Structure 1
Amino acid sequence: MYDFAIIGGGIVGLSTAMALGRRYPDAKIVLFEKESRWAFHQTGNNSGVIHSGVYYKPGSFKAKFCRDGCQSMVAFCREHDIPHEVCGKVIVATEEHELPLLENLYQRGLQNGIQVARISAEEVREIEPHVNCLAGVRVFSTGIADYKQVCQKYAELVRAQGGELYLNTKVERIVDLTNGKAVETNNGTFEAKLLVNCAGLHSDRVAKMGGVDPEAKIVPFRGEYYELTPEKRYLVKGLIYPVPNPAFPFLGVHFTRMIDGSVHAGPNAVLSLKREGYKKTDFDLKDFAEVMTYPGFWKLAAKHADEGIQEIIRSFSKAAFVRSLQRLIPEVQSEDLVPTHAGVRAQALMNDGKLVDDFLIVKGKNSIHVCNAPSPAATSSLEIGKAVTEQIAEQFSPATSPVQAV
């Protein structure tokens, strides 16, 4: 019997396996990933940003884990020679009504212990010469990294600790045992004293499979991106963000210089008709029906109808997408942009229509379930792994612990 079984080979699952292996070096650890490679879904399709934590409610898991994770992720990348850069970013107000919201962000950054500075439009243009704005906030600690390489290194370290990692292994059923869980997969049954669910887009389903109701459902939102053509990359030096709408939980279309030098523009945020739906044509009847019959979705849709319609328009109209980008950089033209990959955000939504706006970690019988870990989970992955490990240590007395810590 294993001490710990982890479901999910994204950045959170692999980080958790690594953290458990460090705390419990004699533990038998196994991790299952249904895809053929690590970081196949959210982690492998995100923007590559090392977030600072400037947006998140002071005192929340997101604020703390992201601020600390920003530092620990940079340190990890340095230690293991993973491509990264601490380039900072600018958040800019382009209209008068955004100026108080920009000031709120500045104050929140200070509350969260982040190095931020108010900057004038002229100072913004010293950093990003092609941006048009009224004022900005500079966030110094934001960076970029190659999270696929981070995941590969996590996997290497877990193996070096003695952990067993299985790709192409889908969890089909979870059965309660007297002293743990039996995890039935397409590659056989594995017994473990404690189960950790880091299944991302399917975390709510895995939780229910394991006998836990997270009281929230994953609703997938697709984020679509364009990429600047190589000859127009000079328009963006680093990371340029608009002031987000505080009532709508997404950051708005922005410009991101990736670690390979390319510049991505986006994303929008539209309902995906499939949990793993990276194309507009992707459709899964079960996934679609679950959302359409969930009261929380309709309450959310009613509350944010105007914003939702604008996101859909941007999805189907390149001209509308370009106009959103021109608010930041007026020089950008339609011919400067080509479509690139999309990502899907696993956003937990409660029955009353409220989005779960913090990381959600739910305890069950002989199990822990990470049921809401969208952005900034990649930045925060080392901190989430440590937090899950701490919760496991608190959940069990020395007499009932799966293994003893050192």
Structure 2
Amino acid sequence: MSTSYIVVGAGIIGAAVGRELVHRFPGSTVTVLEKESRVATHQTGHNSGVVHAGLYYEPGSLKAQLCRRGVGLLKDFCAEKNLPYLECGKLVVGLDETEEGRLTAIHERAVANGVPGVHMVGPDGIRAREPAAIGRAALVSPGTAVVDYTAITRALADDITAAGGRVEFGRDVVRVERSAARSVVHTSTGTLAADHVIVCAGAQSDRISRRSGGPRHPSIVPFFGQYFLLEPAYRDILNGLVYPVPDPRYPFLGVHLTKRFDGEMTVGPNAFLSLSRERYRGLGLSPRDLAATLADPGFWRFSGRNMPSAVREARTVLSQRFFLREAQRYVPSLEGATATRIERGIRAQAMDATGRLLDDFVIETDAAATHVRNAPSPGATSSLAIAEHIVDRVTA
């Protein structure tokens, strides 16, 4: 008798898990359930498109291991499917002595993580790679790339159906429970049963886990990231990506410049509390989502520790001029540039009961299902490797 699997969510991680299952177990029954009418509707379809090389992550962590493995798998998949994979490289630029010291520590992590070709340069090296950029020192990551994650997810879904699996849309999953020897998935349009369920629900992961009998934490606190598209005259101002050095006082990276797979140049994202988990335009208010955030004691503990960061990020939310001025610190010739606000992204960030943002991937397994509870950046980069990791656990 064949084994049956249900995957909840058709973002890039859910699609990658479904593809891994149909390829590893050709005789199995694999069904991917997605509440929307298409794949990659939420986080996958609203990110920067960057394939991260693995610079920042704690050596030995799941992020470090799966990011490095994921880069190779993703590059091979794009080549197989003839999808864009622009290996444009990245500079992490330090502007002063303090930031140069932090860069040295990042370089050590990158080397420990096995990032190929990573090296430090001074002002002349910065200009040689990015003539429009300035800085005291920079970390060069030549293997950082940009892709179209939505197109990748569509290709993953096509592989699932080509191998005999199913991707069903309009199936909003409410909870998963164990009944006898099988798991039962309760959806908005009825129930389904399978031998095992893998929940890759992104911003809804905590809700499905809690309804399925899991713990309250980690809970999801959404943060939106606003992007601006630079006017056409500045499309080629950089060859690749220019990032700031992370400040350990703040939980997020800060404004950076990112080339897209189509050659357009964007500035962003910032990071500020989102009023919803899945609304990307206008005020983006969901009373239900906002109430859930404000009712979480961990959120207030986090807020109390990060008020300076909130003030800094609020300025980039309220003022496009301030947003671009932050970018001008690294690329002075952006002075006078104009930009267009484009659809924001929303990061589903897991937080524990103490208000600590969870840095590493969190994957929990109970009797009924495997739940991906935290998979922020580099989740998309790592998606194919995360799929391998989850399927290894499910079948161990």
Task: Please give the TM-score of this superposition, normalised by the length of structure 1.
Answer: 0.94
1:76 alignment partner AA: F
**Separation in 2 of the partners of 1:316 and 1:64?**
38
Number of the residue aligned with 2:31: 30
Question: What does 1:232-311 correspond to in 2, within 5 Å?
Answer: 232-311=234-313
Query: Offset at 1:379?
Result: 0.5
Query: Offset at 1:176?
Result: 2.7
Number of the residue aligned with 1:354: 356
2:7 maps to 1:20: no
Of the three residues 319, 323, 326, the one matched with 2:325 is 323
**Separation in 2 of the partners of 1:54 and 1:389?**
26
**Separation in 1 of the partners of 2:355 and 2:186?**
33
Helix, strand or coil at the partner of 2:67: helix
2:153 alignment partner AA: C
Number of the residue aligned with 1:128: 130
- Contact kept, 8 Å, 1:181 with 1:192, in 2: the verdict is yes
Helix, strand or coil at the partner of 1:235: coil
Query: Offset at 1:23?
Result: 2.0
**Separation in 2 of the partners of 1:334 and 1:167?**
45
Query: Offset at 1:335?
Result: 4.0
**Separation in 2 of the partners of 1:285 and 1:146?**
32
Of the three residues 163, 168, 182, the one matched with 1:166 is 168
**Separation in 2 of the partners of 1:180 and 1:205?**
21
Helix, strand or coil at the partner of 2:323: helix
Question: What does 1:60-99 correspond to in 2, within 5 Å?
Answer: 60-99=61-100
Query: Offset at 1:234?
Result: 2.3
2:161 maps to 1:146: no
**Separation in 2 of the partners of 1:16 and 1:25?**
14
- Contact kept, 8 Å, 1:232 with 1:336, in 2: the verdict is no
Q: How many residues align?
A: 394
Helix, strand or coil at the partner of 2:184: strand
Of the three residues 384, 391, 394, the one matched with 2:393 is 391
- Contact kept, 8 Å, 1:224 with 1:315, in 2: the verdict is yes
Q: Deviations over 1:67-107 (max 9, x none)?
A: 11111111111111011111211111012221100111111
Change (3 A) 1:334 1:296: farther
Which 5+ residue runs of structure 2 have no aligned equivalent? none
Helix, strand or coil at the partner of 2:135: coil
1:298 alignment partner AA: W
The two structures, once aligned, show a CA RMSD in angstroms of: 1.4
Percent of pairs with identical residues = 37
Q: Deviations over 1:261-291 (max 9, x none)?
A: 1011100000001111323511111211111
Helix, strand or coil at the partner of 2:311: helix
Task: Please give the TM-score of this superposition, normalised by the length of structure 2.
Answer: 0.97
Which 5+ residue runs of structure 1 have no aligned equivalent? 395-406
- Contact kept, 8 Å, 1:204 with 1:214, in 2: the verdict is yes
Query: Offset at 1:187?
Result: 2.9
Helix, strand or coil at the partner of 2:157: helix
Change (3 A) 1:214 1:372: farther
Helix, strand or coil at the partner of 1:340: strand
**Separation in 1 of the partners of 2:22 and 2:49?**
26
Q: After the TM superposition, which of the residue ranges 103-112 and 205-214 deviates more from structure 2?
A: 205-214
Query: Offset at 1:114?
Result: 0.8
